[in-house]
Amino acid sequence: MTTSTLTTKTLGTLGSTPAIGLGLMGMSALYGPADRDESIATIHAALDAGVRLLDTGDFYGMGHNELLLHEALNGIDRDSVDLSVKFGALRGPDGDWYGFDARPGAVKTWLAYSLQRLGTDHIDIYRPARLDPDVPIEETIGAIAEMIEAGYVRHIGLSEVGAETIRRAHAVHPIADLQIEYSLISRGLEGEILDTCRELGIGITAYGVLSRGLISGHYAPDQVTVSDFRSHTPRFQGENLTRNLDLVEALRGVASDAGITVAQAAIAWVASRGDDIVPVVGARTRARLAETLGAAAVTLTDEQLAAIEAAIPLDQVAGTRYAAEQMAMLDSEK
């Protein structure tokens, strides 16, 4: 590995971490086929550039993503990497979703399988992917806390939960970070949720900073197949897509004036929102990773930030970030 040139941010109990994280979901699930060799090469390139936080989920490709990560980390110093793992999603062989299971016994079972697939003796940040409506958050967090005491987990994270749930979880055990979608067109974090996290010293890992490629400047509708979950998402459908891509073109003009790409403008905007907010970007290739890392070197002026926000007014964004059924599962949206 080379010495990192990335600046650092702070994620609660995890402490200092490089200012960009790599999300691995797209290497295994939901965006259509990915090249295994290129995926592994991209992970290696990220580590060589100083990226430390690697985010996965045990249900990404039903274990495929964890096995891919295990292969990529072969020969890598385990202590040089922070593995963030989400758990709890219930899925069938056909990919259907059946809710979430975060009962204490299930927590420990999910963890046992993840440790095996990842080939490691501990996970750095372990988090329920969503709030299980049938299980008090105190029970879920208590079970992870027991796994910390046993040495299998280092820190606890949360994902897509609201302020009340954050407070209840933090009262059981200190929380490292909240993982939540945050971008120019998804700003539900702002307000009570972010205020609560900052009050309690909890960091933010922001996923979806490019809104699944929608505001990357590279999105091509004709490349999305029915197996790509974006084709079933309101923001990517019909007139909604047309309106949203018009906003992207406005952003392209601002980015061009700043001498950066559309994706770099969107990533740098999220990064500018605080020293406790780490964008986790789902680059699947080394080319996209290079563009992402370029965003880490961008410092936007107040005038540029204002121009970026003016290019994508929130009241002009069309469609929700998930379909209605999935939106209903988000504690962060209640």
In this structure, the dihedral spanned by the alpha carbons of residues 226, 320, 215 and 131, taken in order and rounded to 10 degrees, is: -90
Catalytic residue among 31, 60, 207, 322: 60
Is 60 noted as a catalytic residue in this protein?
yes
Residue 21 phi, psi dihedral angles, 5° rounding: -115, 160
Contacts of residue 65, Cβ cutoff 8 Å, sequence gap at least 6: 24, 25, 27, 28, 29, 56, 57
Residue closest to 216 by CA, chosen among 31, 28, 46: 31
Q: Return all residues near 221 (Cβ < 8 A) that are at least 6 apart.
A: 236, 241
Q: In Å, how far from its chain's centre is CA 227?
A: 21
**CA 159/CA 147 separation, integer angstroms:** 18
Catalytic residues: 60
